[in-house]
Structures are given as C-alpha cells and as structure tokens.
Amino acid sequence: MSFDLNNLLRENIKNLVPYSSARDEFKGEASVYLDANENSYGSPLPEPYNRYPDPLQALVKEKLSKIKGVPPRNIFVGNGSDEAIDILFRAFCRPGTDNVIIVPPTYGMYEVSANINDVRLKRVKLTEDYQLDLEGIAEAIDPNTRLIFICSPNNPTGNSINREDIETVIANFDGIVVIDEAYINYSRQKTFIRELTEYANLVVIQTLSKAWGLAGLRVGMAFASEEIIEVFNKVKPPYNMNDASQRLASKALDNIEQVNHWIREAVTAREKVARELTAFPFVLKVYPSDANFILVKTTDAKEIYQHLVKSGIIVRDRSKIALCEGSLRITIGTPAENEQLIKALATFNNG
C-alpha cells in the first residue's frame, strides 16, 4: 500500500490560504497591542480575557507532549475531539463523491459528521463478539474511500478492538485510519500513539472529556504525523480553543496523580458493578468492558430504563441499535451512585 497525503487532500484544501490572525502575524512580546481590535481597557473578569487566545495552544501542547511522549508538532488540540472528527471530513472527503467506513455499533458522531459534510457512509458491522470484520472492510474499500473510523475501546460496546486486526487495516489501506481512543485510560490495551512513527496514515484521537474529568471545557486531541497535523491547523478556525479552556486545561494537566487515582477507582468499581449486574435474572449478559461504562443485555431494556428514571437514575438505552438489542449502556458512577443503581435494579419486577 502506498500512502500519499497529497492524493487524499481535497483540491480546495491543498490550495487553501489559511486565515492569518493578528496572533499569527506577530508572535513576539510587545508592550502595546493595537493589532486585533480587542478591548484595550481590559476584561470584566480578573483574567485578561480581552485578549485573543494562542491560536496553536503552545502551553497545552507542551504539557500534553510530556504526558503522552509525543512532540507538540504531532498534536492537534480542538474544541472537543468532535472538532477533530469534523476536520477530518472537511479536509479529506469530497462531498457527494468520497466515502468513509465505520464499523457499527460505534460512536454516533462519525455518522453525523459524514451527513453534515455530505459524505457517503459505508457500514461494515462488527462481528457478534464486537470485533472487526476484516474481510468485510477489505471488500468495502474502494478508490474513493478516504477514512476508516475504529473506536477502541468502542462506544457503546465497551470492548477494545484486537490490536493485530487494527494493524492489518492500517497496513492495507491507502487512506487514513482514525483510531478513537476516548476511553483508552480505562483500557488494558496500549494506545496506538506509539505507532505514529510507523504508520503515516494513522490518526489517534483522544479527549480530556473522560478520564481527565474535563468534559465541560471541551478539549480533544488528534495525534498524527506532522504533515497531517499541518492540515488540521490549516483548516481549523483560527482561535478554536478559548483562553479559559487553555488556562484551565494547562492547570489540570499538572494533576495527573488525581486522574490516575480516579482511573484505578473506576476500573475497580467497573468490575464490582459488572459482578453485581450479572446476578439479576433480567440481565442476560454483561459485556466485558475496557471503558468507564458497561453494556448490559437485558430481557426488558425499555422497562428497566423507565424504572431507573423513576428512581432518578439515567442510563443510556441502546436497545434500538443493531447488535445491541435489549442493551443498556451504564456509566460507572461514584461508589454511592453505583450502590444506588444496584439497589434500584433490585426493586425491578418484570413479572
């Protein structure tokens, strides 16, 4: 297989002259900034929010670089990882012409982003045990296939996808393979970030919304070759991550011990909740999870969902999704919340 980024890029993106912001054009330190039509008098808040943020988020990337072991030039930071997903469509997929492959049941935004961008979706269902159908993927690839999305650990099933299978897909595809590792911190499987130097056609997506506990700040990352990251930077809005998020994310990234502690707690709680769920007669299967949620196949998903709502507990009903029939997706809560869940389920009477 031969990967050539230039062949993949849409012609308009190849020729695009990106917006050049005031902060792009002058990068040094000055005492008087009269170049960006900001409010020179100040901000009504203690922080200097009257100034535009760093367009390339140098401090956030420096901290991520240390934690992830990836140089800043291989990191894109966006307004949630959903921004990275959308940019991939806009940069590489010609609307009405190109297509992408998804492997359902999987995260819903790949499909929504494809629809927004008028890009055809090819669905190659996962196997019964939620692994890749390699033959199906190979058959689905055509000359206009630009991206293949693989979510591992997968949402909503919770399992990791076999590493060798992912490697097979990367090695046999001329387009870009996107591995969405939103839940990687909870997984027994290693990240694919280490393979970036080996595969030019790999994009790894991660987020601070899950294990890092910062969903409200909207910080997502894409890790890829320098060439691909340059494309992201060319296409993104000039100030795609606001200054409050940059400041707070930079501060939070100093607190990895707290995050690692929570990850250990969540993994222990996950195993406990899984064991407890198995005991209920209306639970047909508790799927193995490498994430901070569990997919549970039940006899009566809708009724159990409603019963939990009445107890003030909201889970996600995934029972209408192919291969997830009868299933609820349950996020791991605090020990007290998990106990509340199990108690509420114990009062469910499906007789």
Q: Which residues are near ligand PLP by CB under 6 A?
A: 80-82, 107, 151, 155, 180, 182, 207, 209, 215, 220
Closest CB 216 distance from ligand PLP, rounded Å: 9
User: What does R_g of the chain's alpha carbons equal in angstroms?
Assistant: 22
Nearer to ligand PLP by Cβ, of 99 and 331: the residue is 331
Distance of closest approach, residue 107 Cβ to ligand PLP, in angstroms? 4
Rounded Cα distance between 321 and 310, Å, is: 24
**Smallest distance from ligand PLP to CB 100, Å:** 15
Task: Tell me the C-alpha distance between 175 and 104, whole Å.
Answer: 19
- Nearer of residues 98 and 180 to ligand PLP, judged by Cβ: 180
Instruction: Give the number of other Cβ atoms within 10 Å of residue 81's Cβ.
Output: 26
Least Cα distance to 156 among 333, 345, 290 occurs for 290
Distance in angstroms (rounded) separating the CA atoms of residues 244 and 202: 30
Please tell me the distance from the alpha carbon of residue 114 to that of residue 231, in angstroms, as a whole number: 19
- The residue count for the chain: 351
Nearer to ligand PLP among residue 74 and residue 155 (C-beta): 155
Q: CB count, 10 Å around CB of 52?
A: 18
What is the smallest separation between the CB atom of 87 and ligand PLP, expressed in angstroms? 12
Considering Cα of 31, then 37, then 41, then 45, what sign does the dihedral take?
Answer: negative
Q: Which is nearer to ligand PLP, 10 or 61 (CB)?
A: 61
Which residue's Cβ has the minimum distance to ligand PLP?
Answer: 80
Residue 85 Cβ vs ligand PLP, minimum distance, rounded to whole Å: 7
Residue with smaller CB distance to ligand PLP, 10 or 153: 153
